[in-house]
Each structure stands twice: as C-alpha cells, then as structure tokens.
Amino acid sequence: MKKTLIFCVIFMLFPTIALCSTTKVLDRDTELHPQGWTAGSLKFKQGTAVELNECGEVISGVLKSYENLRPAGSGTTGFGSWGTPSHGGYLSFKGDNFITIFDEHGYVTSGTIGEDSDIYLCPNNEPMVNFKFGTAVSFDKDGNLINGTLKENTYLRPAGWNKLSATNSDGGFLKFQAGTEVVFGPNAQVIKGTIMDGLTINGRIYPAGTKLQFSESDNPQRI
C-alpha cells in the first residue's frame, strides 16, 4: 500500500514518465477515477475493458452513460444543438459501446460526442464548427481538434490553400461535405476531407464528393 501511494505521488508530480498500464474486463458496472482527477468518479460499463495506470486510475474505458466532460486543452467549449452554451466548457460524451480516452490531467483526448456540438478547431479561435452527434472527435494535448465528422456543409481551408486561391474566388476555402470526417493538421488546416463541390487545379479535375488528402507541397490526392 505504501509503495503504491508513493508511486501515485510520483505519477502526479511527473506525469510524463512512461508507466506500465494494465487492462481488465469489468464484471459489473463500476465507478472508477480517471487519471488526473483530484475528486469524483465515473461509472464504466460491465463487460467492457478499462485500461488502468499504476494507481488504478482510468486511462481509457467505456462509459456506462452520457457524461459531460472537459476536452483536452484550454478554451475548447461544447455547445448544444440549439447554439447556446450547454455545459460551460464541457462536451457531452457518449457511453455504451464507445471508448473514451483521458490524458494525464483527466481531460478527454478522444471520445464520441453525445450531441451535435460546436467546437473550436483551435482553442478560442473563432469561429466554431458544428460536429455531428454520435461521431468520434479527438484532440491533441493543446486542445487543437484532430478529427471530427461535420454536421453541415462547411467552408474550411485545406493545407496548401494558397495554391487554391489563384484558382477560386474564396480565398483558398473549400466547402466540405456534411456527414463526412475531416482530419486537421497545423493551424486547423484540413489534411483529409471530402469536397462538396467539384474542383479543378492545374488541369486536374476532382468531382464533387471526392475524398482528398491535402499537403503544402503537392496537388490534392484522391484517397
């Protein structure tokens, strides 16, 4: 017991130290503490696997029900489907069959959203973008969105957008298709996504509905 307590203190002070984790299958609905939390617990679902750190705190697991949780990074705010702040900086995450992953501070880095949600692509960098209920989102350690599924057709800038600005009148923005996943790179620029409208670049034609990979150095590539 004393060794475990000492180890947990070291983990809290030096969370970047690589630690061994263990996985167990829950024989009943079980209340456990996500890593990084100083108080409180969440209920995880019977018959599903949870990954635990050396202190027995949850790294990842399947929630029993919907929970309002704070995503990784600061300034990322969840909004409900009616466009009003719903949970004061929290997002609703879905339980049942979907894995939720927590960082060392207890914030969610990956999970399935439990309602249509407006999310900053970068912390506090307007505007927000609306993402679809029941789809996966993930964040990097600074709170930048890595991926999500669009609720509605949305104009976004892809990587290499400066090459597009000479061929369209929208300043390098492209409209991406509702109901499709978008993957973001640095500066919230799209590196993978499905275009809503047809596109022509340097004589190459990309029909509407084409899923593309974008880069700074080359023309878009079909995926």
pLDDT tens, 40-81?
Answer: 999 999 999 999 999 999 999 999 999 999 999 854 444 444
Q: Are strands 49-52 and 58-62 parallel, antiparallel or unpaired?
A: antiparallel
pLDDT by residue (tens digit) across 87-135?
457 999 999 889 999 999 999 999 999 999 999 999 878 889 999 999 9
164 φψ region: left (φ > 0), alpha (ψ -120 to 50), beta (else): alpha
Q: What's the rounded Cα separation, in Å, for the pair 204 and 151? A: 29
Q: How far apart are CA 154 and CA 136, in angstroms?
A: 18
Which residue, 87, 89, 92, 93, is CA-closest to 76?
89
Domain coordinates of the chain in residue numbers? Answer: 153-223
CB 201 within 8 A of CB 220: yes
pLDDT reported for residue 169 = 58
